[in-house]
């Protein structure tokens, strides 16, 4: 008698099976979006090199409603990417500063505060003198 083994299959649309899978997929999408942001910024530099009118045209394009909506979505994904990684830092603590591992929420809080601090410093450096 031949016995057939049924091959292993990953479920289709597995990432819709629970909220955690979906959160993970959005975090990964956020990674791609970070790269996309990088390309937009690079393109901005190219336009800047090409002269004032090219740069102004590019800025005007960025101000059109479709680009603004797109940027809102991209920004939300980048935020999600950053926040969810901060959440994970505390869940995997290869370096322990204390005898017992710190609760992940504490590590998350410290990272968010540092993030706000560094972002504030960068904003001040760029716009502070204005």
Residues 6+ apart with CB under 8 A from 112: 83, 86
- Assess 69 for contact with other proteins (CB under 8 A): no
Q: How far is it, in rounded angstroms, from Cα 95 to Cα 130?
A: 41
Find the part of the chain contacting other proteins (CB under 8 A) among 2-10, 34-42, 111-119, 120-128.
2-10
CB of 35 to other proteins, least distance (A): 16
Q: How many CB atoms lie within 10 A of CB 109?
A: 14
- Assess 19 for contact with other proteins (CB under 8 A): no
- Assess 49 for contact with other proteins (CB under 8 A): no
- Assess 12 for contact with other proteins (CB under 8 A): no
- Assess 20 for contact with other proteins (CB under 8 A): yes
Q: How far is it, in rounded angstroms, from Cα 103 to Cα 92?
A: 11
Q: How far is it, in rounded angstroms, from Cα 25 to Cα 45?
A: 31
Q: Please give the biggest Cα pair distance in the chain.
A: 83
Site mask, other proteins, residues 70-89, x = CB under 8 A?
A: ------------------x-
Residues at the site binding other proteins, with contacts judged by CB under 8 A: 1-11, 14-15, 17-18, 20-21, 24, 28, 88, 91-95
């Amino acid at each position: 008698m031949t016995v057939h083994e049924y091959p292993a299959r990953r479920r289709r649309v597995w990432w819709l099976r629970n909220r955690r899978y979906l959160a993970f997929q959005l975090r990964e999408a956020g990674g791609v979006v970070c790269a996309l942001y990088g390309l937009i910024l690079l393109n901005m530099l190219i336009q800047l090199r090409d002269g004032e009118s090219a740069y102004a045209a590019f800025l005007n394009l960025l101000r059109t409603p479709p680009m603004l909506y797109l940027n809102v979505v991209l920004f939300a994904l980048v935020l999600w990417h950053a926040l969810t990684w901060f959440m994970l830092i505390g869940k995997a603590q290869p370096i322990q500063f204390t005898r017992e591992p710190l609760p992940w929420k504490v590590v998350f809080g410290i990272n968010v505060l540092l993030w706000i601090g560094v972002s504030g410093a960068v904003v001040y450096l760029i716009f502070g003198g204005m």
